[in-house]
Amino acid sequence: MSARAPRRAWQRMLSGRRLDLIDPSPLDIEIGDIAHGLARVARWNGQTKGPEIFSVAQHSVLVESVFAGLALAPSGKARLTALLHDAPEYVIGDMISPFKAAIGAEYKRVEARLKRAIFIRFGLPPEPPDDLDRRIKAADRASAYLEATALAGFSSAEARKLFGAPDLSTGDFAAFLEPMRPADAETLFLTRFSELDVKVAGAL
């Protein structure tokens, strides 16, 4: 009797790459696949205002912009790290925080392996320094506050309890908070990636 075939753990991308989700290789990661996937993943489980979803691609660009405003003269690599902070969600989706907590550590392990492979693929440290990681998380929370109050129906008081009270004006980031069609969100993300990638290459 033949042994049972191992379960498939890879996903085929539109680029033709086959990415192993359990043991991902940087060689199987393409920025076009990331942008395409993130532009089609909805933040807040799709519970946002507007005729289109607010995608993780848009969230990523927002976080990078907020990070640049909160940080003191951030490097191109730091800003690229901020842009790619949620990149694993192009294959594992965007789960809201309460559900991540319910699933437990296995989700975090899969996410962490994917993030390391993505960072290596684009010339970033596989494990960002603790200080950088903290600053990106602060920008992520601030962005969540902006999205919650502008798009997801939260009151300011409710959002402050969950995400803190960032010293930011929603109006300053209004252009980043307009839901858009997936193709436009994909282009937005790719354009910002290209701009930052050029800065990183120029600094080497």
pLDDT in the model for residue 40: 98
Residue 70: its pLDDT value, please? 86
Which residue is associated with the tokens 């003191």? Answer: 72
State yes or no: pLDDT of 1 exceeds 50: no
11-192: CATH, from 1.10.3210.10, 1.10.3720.10, 3.40.190.10, 3.40.50.2000: 1.10.3210.10
Residue 191 has pLDDT above 90, yes or no: yes
pTM for the whole structure = 0.91
The model's confidence at residue 6, banded by pLDDT at 50, 70 and 90, is: low
Closest CA to 89 of 150, 149, 44, 132: 44
Q: How far is CA 34 from CA 51, 151, 193, in A?
A: 23, 24, 11
Give per-residue pLDDT as tens, 28-55.
999 999 999 999 999 999 999 999 999 9
Hey, where are the domains in the chain? 11-192
Averaged pLDDT score across all residues of the chain: 91
Residue 152 has pLDDT above 90, yes or no: yes
| HSE toward the beta carbon, residue 45, CA cutoff 13 A | 7
Helix (H, G, I), strand (E, B) or coil at 67: helix
- Rounded to 5 degrees, φ, ψ at 18 are -115, 110
Give yes or no for residue 56 having a pLDDT over 60: yes
pLDDT digit string, tens, across residues 8-28: 689 999 999 999 999 999 999
